[in-house]
Structure 1
């Protein structure tokens, strides 16, 4: 008995998902164990050590392959600066991030078509003519655009976390400034205080503090913060702080006004998401819940009517 292509594809999908889940559960580090290992000196986690070792080997292997994929990047001078800015938005600050990115993109573009071709060959579905090249094209397209898609997801997730954390951080900055700290010292102090609750914003404040200690002007350090985050609301905040520092206006009042504005925008975004929820639930309700409910309610009635109307012969 031969399996249909749909059943075979479902089995392959279930197998891949099961193996991936098992690998992730087995090899991904546990944040709680990592935190406990950091707080307990002299006791490291074997899983964390193994995962770090695997990461180092994978990184070394990708860097070894990077000369063959350097043509895609076009060199440092010809590489679009927008891509490096997106790396900064995703907190990819490694100097070899660009090489690893293009290496992964090239490998996925070459390997995924081969996997798709192998799956087609072992499946009962054997396309003819130009259809034989369709899995190769789909695999190449997925491999080429998958790194861009992952990068976009990481950027949007990190920007949402930063935007959600900024109103509370601005309140802490205002308290520190009103207590007598300068803006530079307040930024570093707030960055240390929110390390556990808001690690993304804490990293950005730490980088800004290091830039200030390295000799950068306050305006330059704040502009670099705005470029690393890449949000319009943060650009407005940075411009306001630069203007307040230039003209000598009250920084605490400016921080209070902007934190209130950011908090209002956060509440409006939450209300907008809540208003969109019924529309998003409409399709699952119609195609998933309603047929099941209709079957449960009308199924016994249909069976009873069928028994009454269709009499047995003889």
Structure 2
């Protein structure tokens, strides 16, 4: 295959990608126009119902338009392939599982998959269909998985933060319950007064509080809090709060025992990490300190043996 044929293949692939983008853009534009028309009708109806109200219509920017277009695809079969249930749970763990977060995740996957494929074809394409297919495969796969890898790192960081904040949350709950506040009042105080300390758990408690204020039961509002980070201790705390809400009773002693158990578990985990670190440092010490130690302790002896052997060779 000569250079001209290779160039024509790349151009054909680029034209096909451009055609697919145009078709998708046309469909998204049509959906956006329908949504805009519906919003305009709703605004007119609202203005007719309130004639004294001044109109407040802002022209959306290109980012808002892009978010609106991608939001129309989130719950379609294509959107559920790009933002699956596992990805939505991952976005929950990152604290961005709203319409904007899902739309950004959806757009990032599409843009990166197409961008990496085109960039790979322009930089690394060789003669033959096999190289083109490999570049397309790895470009699409890398663009599809890169946003998920980034979100996984953010989710792991938030999980660690939640585990570190849990003992403080339990102590605050025990203290507030000890002064006579109810569960609802205690959670409200933690949300408003300690959000700068409990950055992750405070945000989750705020979401649970908003759900509870809209009419959901305590069990329903705490379901996300207990399952979002896949942490058994958080699940146990939420279950304890639900039981106290339903049946009442003293909660200071169970919270105290629970806090002591968590701190003891953290001590055991720290000892395990120190033990693993000691084993790893043994190999480092053998590779770095042992040669220097041998030179210091046995260097003079080796030199004496070498000099003696050299003198014996000179005498012979």
TM-score for the superposition, normalised by structure 1: 0.62
Unaligned runs of 5+ in 1: 1-55, 295-300, 302-307, 309-314
Structure 2 CA distance for aligned equivalents of residues 70 and 224 of structure 1:
21
Task: Tell me the equivalent position of 1:103.
Answer: 107
How far does the alpha carbon of each residue in 1:244-275 deviate from its partner, in whole angstroms, 9 at most, with x for none? Answer: 44343322222212222222222222222222
2-side partners of 1:149 and 1:57: how far apart?
A: 29
The 3 A distance-change label for structure 1 pair 269 and 214 is same
**Bigger shift: 157-166 or 269-278?**
269-278
Counterpart of 1:270 in structure 2 is: 270
Alignment of 1:26-105 (within 5 A): 59-60=63-64, 62-63=66-67, 66=70, 74=78, 80-105=84-109
Distance 2:122 2:183 in 1: 60
Find out whether 1:149 has 2:153 as its counterpart. no
Q: Find the aligned partners of 2:179 and 2:218 in 1 and give their Cα distance.
A: 20
Residue of structure 1 in register with 2:194 after alignment: 194
Equivalent residues of 1:89, 1:158 under 8 A apart:
yes
Match of 1:209 in 2: 209
Alignment correspondent of 2:117: 113
User: Is the alpha carbon distance of 1:165 and 1:153 closer, same or farther for their aligned partners in structure 2, counting shifts above 3 Å?
Assistant: same
8 Å contact from structure 1 (residues 245, 251) kept in 2 = no
For the aligned residue pairs, the C-alpha RMSD in angstroms reads 4.2
Q: Which runs of 5+ in 2 are unaligned?
A: 1-59, 295-302, 304-309, 311-316
| Aligned counterpart, 1:224 | 224
Q: Secondary structure at the match of 1:96?
A: helix
Structure 1 pair 88/276, CA: closer, same or farther in 2 (3 Å)? same
Deviation at 1:91, TM superposition (A): 0.3
- Following TM superposition, by how much is the alpha carbon of 1:226 offset from its aligned partner in structure 2, in angstroms? 1.3
| d(CA) in 2 for partners of 1:217, 1:268 | 37
Give TM-score scaled by structure 2 length. Answer: 0.62
Q: 1:224 to 1:129 in 2, by over 3 A?
A: closer
Distance change in 2, residues 1:289/1:58 (3 Å): farther
Larger-gyration structure (1/2): 2
Question: Is residue 65–residue 103 contact of structure 1 (8 Å, CA) maintained in 2?
Answer: no
C-alpha displacement of 1:57:
6.4
